[in-house]
């Protein structure tokens, strides 16, 4: 699987810049219209009001088209972003041409596209934008309609300085807000790329473990079948030796347990490949998991806390969810056994839009000094160390989360799943095959 490089966010940046320009256009249209009307009606300046309003009106049409374009599913490419900046520069140049050109105190607004592009575009694209603005500025140095006579003399100079102050405030506000907006968008995209990369690395490790497990299951099937065939004969040959017969009976039970685990692995693998989701209610799902867990750990003393309203909720169970819950219960039983306890508790609840599965043990708790504490590393001996990792991967695929914390006499692992990802769709639920109810 090719991994994205978190150090190169440019492929995402043009989209963020284009959306920022769309917001900036709305501000510009409002400010430009207000400035034209203020100068013409309040200050009584002799400026070409009609041409200015026509340019602003055309700019508004372009802004509406650009905003509609952003709602389309097509990816925004860098050349398209440059086209939007060129249109913005052309409109601003037209407005400046009609109001004094380079002598207008607002001419420095031409720098804003360069400042925004520097935070999002590649160097060739940024050079293109800089060249466009420089050409516009050079053109406005020689070609423009002069400002009205009231801008001449000392009063005109003071008015020019006032315009520069307003321009400085506008530029500072726009650059501060929109550059921060761009930087935040790029930072979020970098974080998402990093999460995708970490998820891909983790899934690659899980796939390697699954491959090894499939090979081991295939190889173990033959010796288990041999032991299953020989153990009854040994029991018949030593029927008079009661202690040995009891040991052989225990061995036979363990062999059957191993065969059941292998069958469960094969069934789980087939379900994962088919990607079929079981349609049932939460109560049926939980009781099915508990029955399977009790077969694996008959010595466990399980406490279930689940309200009737939660038990009756519809559930669309993906293949990995059942295995993840059994893993959590099995880990809890192992942790409790470290303190010579068999008690394990499961609490199923619903918190607003979340389904919560809390598994509590009475073991020594998690070790905060270990690097894997955030994933619930308990430091127990004899485990493979992948149960919680697999459960976390399942929760992550369902847009949920897995958290671990210590309690007064043990530890608690909580799997939170959004109901939107585990609730069946109405149309799919009607024709879906309901899973068989667990036997009582």
* 71 pLDDT higher than 80: yes
* 432 pLDDT higher than 60: no
Distance of alpha carbon 314 from alpha carbon 328, whole angstroms? 22
The last residue of a domain, from among 132, 152, 172? 152
Quick: pLDDT tens for 171-216: 777 777 777 776 777 788 778 778 777 767 666 665 665 666 666 6
Query: Is 204 part of a structural domain of the chain?
Result: no
Instruction: Write down the pLDDT at residue 429.
Output: 41
Nearest-CA neighbor of 281 among 416, 415, 396, 424? 424
Domain of residue 103, residue span: 14-152
Mean pLDDT of 22-50: 83
Tell me the pTM. 0.46
CB of 331 within 8 A of CB of 413?
A: yes
* 345 pLDDT higher than 90: yes
Query: Is 435 part of a structural domain of the chain?
Result: no
The CATH number assigned to the domain holding 317 equals 3.30.565.10
Q: Residues 151-190, buried b or exposed e (16+ Cβ, 10 A)?
A: beeeeeeebbeebeeebeebbeebeeebbebbeebbeebb
Q: Higher model confidence: residue 275 or residue 49?
A: 49
Are 284 and 416 in the same domain?
yes
DSSP per position, 261-290: HHHHHHHHHHHHHHTPPEEEEHHHHHHHHH
The last residue of a domain, from among 152, 179, 202? 152
Query: Is 146 part of a structural domain of the chain?
Result: yes
Query: Is 260 part of a structural domain of the chain?
Result: no
Query: Is 255 part of a structural domain of the chain?
Result: no
The last residue of a domain, from among 104, 122, 152? 152
Nearest-CA neighbor of 367 among 352, 378, 382? 378
Quick: pLDDT tens for 318-330: 767 888 888 889 8
Interhelix angle for 111-118 vs 153-237, to 10°? 20
**Domains of the chain: total:** 2
Query: Is 243 part of a structural domain of the chain?
Result: no
Query: Is 381 part of a structural domain of the chain?
Result: yes
Q: Higher model confidence: residue 362 or residue 8?
A: 362
Specify the residue for token string 């607002």: 106
CB of 97 within 8 A of CB of 145?
A: yes
Query: Is 186 part of a structural domain of the chain?
Result: no
């Amino acid at each position: 699987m090719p991994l994205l490089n978190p150090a190169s966010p440019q492929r995402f940046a043009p989209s963020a810049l284009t959306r920022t320009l769309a917001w900036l256009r709305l501000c510009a249209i409002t400010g430009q219209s207000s400035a034209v009307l203020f100068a013409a009606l309040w200050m009584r300046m002799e400026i070409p009001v009609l041409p200015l309003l026509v340019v602003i009106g055309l700019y508004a049409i372009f802004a509406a088209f650009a905003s509609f374009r952003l709602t389309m599913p097509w990816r925004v490419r860098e050349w398209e972003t440059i086209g939007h900046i060129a249109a913005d520069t052309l409109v601003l140049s037209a407005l400046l041409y009609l109001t004094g050109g380079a002598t207008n105190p607002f001419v420095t607004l031409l720098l804003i596209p360069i400042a925004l592009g520097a935070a999002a575009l590649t160097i060739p694209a940024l050079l293109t934008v800089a060249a466009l603005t420089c050409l516009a500025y050079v053109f406005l140095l020689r070609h423009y309609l002069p400002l009205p006579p009231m801008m001449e003399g000392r009063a005109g100079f003071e008015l020019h300085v006032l315009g520069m102050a307003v321009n400085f405030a506008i530029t500072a506000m726009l650059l501060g807000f929109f550059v921060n907006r761009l930087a935040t968008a790029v930072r979020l995209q970098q974080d998402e790329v990093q999460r995708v990369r970490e998820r891909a690395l983790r899934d690659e490790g899980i796939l390697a473990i699954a491959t090894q497990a499939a090979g081991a299951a295939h190889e173990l099937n033959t010796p288990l079948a041999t032991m299953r065939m020989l153990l009854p004969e040994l029991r018949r040959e030593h029927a008079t030796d009661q202690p040995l017969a009891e040991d052989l009976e225990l061995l036979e039970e363990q062999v059957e347990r191993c065969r059941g685990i292998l069958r469960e692995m094969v069934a789980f693998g087939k379900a994962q490949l088919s990607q079929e989701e079981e349609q049932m209610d939460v109560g049926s799902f939980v009781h099915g998991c508990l029955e399977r867990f009790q077969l694996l750990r008959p010595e466990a003393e399980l406490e279930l806390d689940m309200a009737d309203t939660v038990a009756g909720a519809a559930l669309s169970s993906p293949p990995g969810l059942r295995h993840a819950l059994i893993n959590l219960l099995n880990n809890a039983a192992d942790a409790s056994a470290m303190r010579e306890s068999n008690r394990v508790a499961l609490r199923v609840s619903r918190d607003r839009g979340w389904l919560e599965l809390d598994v509590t043990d009475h073991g020594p708790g998690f070790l905060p000094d270990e690097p894997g504490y955030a994933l619930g590393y308990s430091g127990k001996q004899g485990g493979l160390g992948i149960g919680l990792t697999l459960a976390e991967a399942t929760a992550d695929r369902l847009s949920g989360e897995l958290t671990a914390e210590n309690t007064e006499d043990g530890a608690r692992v909580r799997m939170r799943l959004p109901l939107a990802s585990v609730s069946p769709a109405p149309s799919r639920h009607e024709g879906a095959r309901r899973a068989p109810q667990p036997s009582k």
